[in-house]
């Protein structure tokens, strides 16, 4: 729903519960902020049906080679870039599949680029530079629901045929008309007036985690609750890979480590090898037949026996 003329977004309004925060003792101050943050989960709960719809729509496109692209300004943009950057190591996808865009470019990740969020044209240019198409899902992130940069992103994406969504933290979002899906987590006034890095940012982080994780579940990148496609690029993740195979198969450490070595570090392959007592070559072939879904691969092998 579009905001009425002259409407001040909830994220910019003063919070009556925190007007005396500058007089509080340190422990009462942090309790006050903590109590305000409790409401974030309820705000996100209201958006769950639409979040599920966005996950399904995105998964269909990514399964065909499309991309999930987040775009926002300031804190919203940084959170999108953060979620996108975590996807390659966590889910083993390439960096093109999930991307983050921010008003002002990469420099804005660490330094505020004043005025960048006010440019519709920059949003349009960034989308056009990515050659967005009907295969892509573009999610604009705007706490206030009215950021011009995000309007430019969404409008250009829709013109290119992409599926679009708006993630906002207000009940009346002027950008709602630009999106196919509306994700509203209405977090209300911030403890510190207008500081949307607080409650609004927390809500956005929760929703983006749900979207990226949900999409990867739909793409078969997760088995049970294990990240079986992770890219083990350091010692911590290599150790995690061993634990994943152990947990999935009920295997001893030496058995899991040996299977991983035979599978060239591929958790999925090692799991299917151990659970089906087959070779790495056969396990990879079975996973290919079932689109990379471990559960489907196990069921197919079981049906053959």
Residues marked as catalytic: 86, 117
Spatial CA neighbour of 298 closest among 238, 240, 239, 220: 220
Q: What is the spatial distance between Cα 156 and Cα 280, in angstroms, rounded to a whole number?
A: 45
- At 159, give phi and psi (nearest 5°): -65, -30
Contact 227, 68 (CB under 8 A): no
Q: What is the spatial distance between Cα 164 and Cα 153, in angstroms, rounded to a whole number?
A: 10
Provide the phi-psi class of 67: left if phi over 0, else alpha when psi is between -120 and 50, else beta.
beta
Q: How many residues does the chain have?
A: 305
Contact 62, 215 (CB under 8 A): yes
Provide the phi-psi class of 92: left if phi over 0, else alpha when psi is between -120 and 50, else beta.
left
């Amino acid at each position: 729903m579009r905001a009425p003329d002259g409407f001040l977004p909830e994220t910019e309004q003063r919070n009556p519960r925190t007007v005396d925060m500058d007089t509080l003792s340190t422990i009462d101050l942090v309790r006050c902020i903590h109590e305000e943050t409790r409401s974030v989960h309820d705000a996100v709960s209201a958006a769950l049906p639409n979040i599920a719809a966005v996950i399904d729509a995105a998964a269909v496109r990514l399964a065909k080679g499309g991309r999930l692209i987040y775009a926002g300004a300031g804190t919203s943009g940084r959170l999108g870039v953060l979620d996108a950057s975590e996807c390659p190591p966590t889910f083993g996808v390439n960096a093109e599949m999930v991307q983050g865009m921010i008003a002002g470019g990469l420099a804005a990740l660490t330094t505020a680029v004043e005025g960048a969020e006010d440019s519709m044209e920059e949003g349009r240019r960034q989308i056009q530079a990515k050659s967005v198409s009907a295969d892509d899902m573009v999610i604009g992130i705007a706490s206030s629901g009215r950021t011009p940069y995000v309007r430019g992103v969404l409008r250009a994406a829709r013109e290119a045929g992409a599926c679009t969504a708006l993630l906002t933290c207000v009940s009346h979002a002027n950008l709602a008309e630009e999106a196919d899906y509306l994700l509203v987590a209405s977090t209300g006034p911030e403890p510190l007036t207008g500081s949307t890095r607080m409650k609004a940012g927390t809500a956005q982080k929760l929703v983006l985690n749900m979207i990226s994780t949900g999409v990867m579940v739909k793409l078969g990148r997760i088995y049970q609750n294990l990240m079986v496609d992770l890219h083990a690029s350091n010692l911590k993740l290599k150790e995690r890979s061993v634990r994943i195979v152990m947990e999935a198969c009920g295997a001893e450490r030496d058995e899991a480590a040996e299977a991983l070595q035979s599978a060239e570090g591929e958790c999925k392959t090692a799991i299917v090898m151990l659970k089906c007592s087959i070779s790495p070559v056969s396990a990879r072939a079975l996973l290919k037949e079932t689109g990379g879904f471990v559960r489907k691969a196990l069921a197919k092998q079981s049906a053959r026996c």
